[in-house]
Structure 1
Amino acid sequence: MKWLIRSFLVLLVLALGAVGWWLFAAHRGDAALVRTGQLAAGENLSDPALIARGKYLATVGDCAACHTQRGGAPFAGGHEVPTPFGNIPSPNITPDDETGLGRWSFADFWQALHAGIGRHGEFLYPAFSYTSYTKVTRDDALAMFAYLKSLAPVHQPAKALGLKFPYSVRSGLAAWRTLYFREGVYQPDTSKSPEWNRGAYLVQGLGHCNECHVARDALGGVPDQPALSGGQIPAQDWYAPDLSTQAHGGLHGWSRQDIVDLLKTGQSAKGSAFGPMAEVVSRSTQHMTDADLAAVATYLESLPPRPQPVVATSAIDTTALVKHGNEIYDRQCAACHGKDGNGVVGVYPPLNGNSSVDEPAGINAIRVVLLGGFPPVTAGNPRPYSMPPFAQSLKDADVAAVVSYIRQAWGNHAAPVQERDVGKYRQTPID
């Protein structure tokens, strides 16, 4: 029976790949793409101003986060991006001739960034966020390429692809692309201000925020749904909250300054960055200009209101659970976060109205209680206060109780969590 199922999957992948490739080829013209990627007269990749601009843009795009393995040389690849289908090692993007971008032309780079097509015409896996990077302008792509070409080359061969069958069959990506990928550079909205358009360009393109802050389906794609509406990050067990500041949005009640503060320092009056977002702030957003941070905040403020969430009700009476959680909170948490859950501004984040407490799944609160909360060290907040882990001192039932309490206390109205959930996330690695 297993071989029949596997044979069917192979045929399905090949069939979808053939159809997807035909549609893909009909949709776009390769010649036009290559022409767009050619250097124009007078363009000089060694221009210091172009390289400096490219360095800033690569920082905004947080390229080093994926293209640097822990303890490794920056941009030399080797970091394994976890996905539900297996791990995908990031490639070396230093200008090494044998293992990096040394022999790449700008046309090759543009094709990868804009169309998700490798140097030899192969489909790139969407763990590389070309679904967002396609919006990057040619001029910005050229600056980034000039910067990467200016780096010292590092010889580091690629790791083996860790995808499971049938996801390791690249031809199947043609069908995926047909379903989920829309190629095209960002087009400004003339009805909006230049600041709004700059923020939209950064969030939708280089910042690739929607890659985490939206729910994905079983194929790892993003079906038609509101952008930045929140979702669980695949294979990482963190929940990236909804980013709307309007009614029922994840950042409801946040001011423009709150958003800027979080992105610049890792902490604001409304909450702190932790988990994957702490790394984003540390490597990327703290280095953005004040004008770009303000533009991002302006764009996020324009996101629409969200529907009122439906809080799941439990058939189990959780009164005793929540009461026990209240007792734990008073003993372990209130000294920092306050009896009212409002924390201490600039020191301890509030739990009342905190988007990471109220998020639908309860994952973030569970993991922070277990593993601790560690805001990033930034120039604007060089000595942040951290929350100690309670994995050793609290049992699963205790963690479920205190998390359920804070999700229902004060102005919070989220569903309680179960002891089995805590056990699951206790086993999940930090990164």
Structure 2
Amino acid sequence: MATQESLFGGGPADSAAAASVPLAERLRPRTLDAVIGQQHLLAPGRPLRVAFEAGRVPSMILWGPPGVGKTTLARLVAGAVEAEFVVLSAVLAGVKDIRDAVELAREHRRQGRATVVFVDEVHRFNKAQQDAFLPHVESGLFTFIGATTENPSFEVNSALLSRATVHVLKALSDDEQSALIDRAQAVLDAPPLSPAARQRLIGHADGDARRLLNAYENLVAASPSATELDDAALERALGELLRRYDKGGDQFYDAISALHKSVRGSDPDAALYWLARMLDGGADPRYAARRIVRMAAEDIGLADPRALRLALDAAEVFERLGAPEGELALAEAVVYLAVAPKSNAVYTAWNAVRAFVKSDGSRPVPEHLRNAPTQLMKTLGHGAGYRYAHDEPGGYAAGERYLPEALAGQRWYTPAPRGLELRIGERLAELRALDAQTKDPR
């Protein structure tokens, strides 16, 4: 549904009504100078600051994690250009809602007013829905602002991207979150936070201002008679949400490291334990799933190619089922990876090739491997003498060269003598023996 919102109204008329408004909304900045964070965009001379001060703000995509000020910046944009602010949520809206927003913008234009159309979670709109904005953005009927937590390169149509500037927003730093706590403390007239509780609350929020303020508001409400808000008060207020949560801290990364090394070390019990510790400590299961996929590629590789497919399947199962049901698929994946044969041969070879190519010159492609789609290219010798492997005995052109001449015989990939790579190594040995018996015909 398209809704037109009032920008930065005066708020509730009395203190009781004001107290009922969530703290995050009460602290929403009304001016650029009140914004905490995003100084790479908002500091003097930076892109958005310059646009705001000029009063001419182009259509844009605001890309960043939750709770970093995407909606706030959109509201400030509307205020900077003295425009009406029309909001669409891509989670709930359809093409009809987009049409309604367009009609609102047309009505505003007839009245001599500008319009900003803000689309939250724009990546959730399909191609047809995103395309519906194009002619109106192109004509200047309204300024389009899309907010997304997903990479717009993959989730936003290229046509829409070409008409909008992409600004990347960052999670709030620890210092910025601490400043936000100070601001909230003054608004709530709350007792001070102990240093340990402050640091733990910041770790819990993980750069998300909304999460930080919601947690702080709960903490203050749960401790009406406290003279100091300490770690124990934080535990009581947030309970399971906070227990051993240390995302971004040493404990979090140590647990990830322990999980990865347990899988690499073929200990399924330890792998299950560290996975459970991560999830119990508040780690995002999707992050754990990504790490599990990485383990399959890095530490199992071609010793058991099924491992990578199973890891990807586990990630998909979690996306479909969520927690806690989907966690079982992640557990199955780490057990399989732990007991699978191990090989980092492809990982090692890939890193070695990348390092070599980075330091080496741009060697020309051998002429017999070059593409020859035109007669001129054929006349120049492109593709001359190339041997089509399928026409050769056993489907292998023995003695054929595929590397630049100066790199003939160079080897980067050495299969591990385990799992399927044992058989891969045997096959490569057979092919190289055939090469040794065959002289290069050129």
- Normalization by structure 1: what TM-score? 0.28
Higher RCO, 1 or 2 (CA under 8 Å, sep at least 6)?
Answer: 1
Higher helix share: 2
Return the index of the structure with the highest Cα Rg: 2
- Normalization by structure 2: what TM-score? 0.28
